[in-house]
Amino acid sequence: MFTNMLTYLFGLAMVAFRTQHVVPDLIDTVPPNLLQVKYPNGTVMLGNELTPTQVQNQPTVHWPTEVGALYTLAMLDIDVPNHTDRSDGNFKHWLSVNVPHSNVQFGYTLANYMSIHPPKGVGLKRYVFLAYKQARRIGGMDPDDSVDARINFDINAFAKQYDLGKPMAGNFFQAQWDESVGDDE
């Protein structure tokens, strides 16, 4: 029964990641595991729509882990400036490395969780969570929460630089502007 459920979820993920073009817009293969993402007022589920208010605070996350392994967790806006014009690359909303199991609070945070602020008039944007199993501990980097360090972040180059391979878990949601974001966005 459990194996059937995993097969079913992976099938849903395959369809969602491809239908919503996360594959190939961000990554080239669907992660083999579902990354569970829960906000106090909403759960991320393969492209469902959430509001900026629902995702304003850092969520809890879980993914399948191996004893003794370390992981990297990333959250990205892959539609910068919008879904049809992605010329400004990706925006890094969250990045932690050296995460034991899926306990992000015990990892090394390179970019603190930043809530989303989709601009008015651009429609739905995709926000993707990815987890990578690290080959070794990552060191030598300082945290940087500046906007400059977040703009045009290339998760694939980061994964290559730190020998992360393909993401082993993922999930995503969509969101668009609403009154909670304000008119100046």
Residue-wise DSSP of 146-182: -HHHHBT--HHHHHHHTT--S-SEEEEEEE---TTT-
* pLDDT at position 8: 56
pLDDT of residue 9: 61
Q: What is the pLDDT of residue 185?
A: 43
- Residue ranges, the chain, pLDDT below 70: 1-10, 184-185
Cis peptide before 119 (omega within 30 of 0): no
According to the model, what pLDDT value does residue 87 have?
A: 84
Please give the model's pTM, rounded to 2 decimal places: 0.93
Give pLDDT, residue 81: 86
Domain 2-175 architecture = Alpha-Beta Complex (3.90)
Q: How far apart are CA 59 and CA 41, in angstroms?
A: 10
In this prediction, residue 7 carries a pLDDT of 57
Q: How far apart are CA 18 and CA 112, in angstroms?
A: 29
pLDDT at 184: 54
Q: Which helix (H) or strand (E) holds 4?
A: helix 2-19
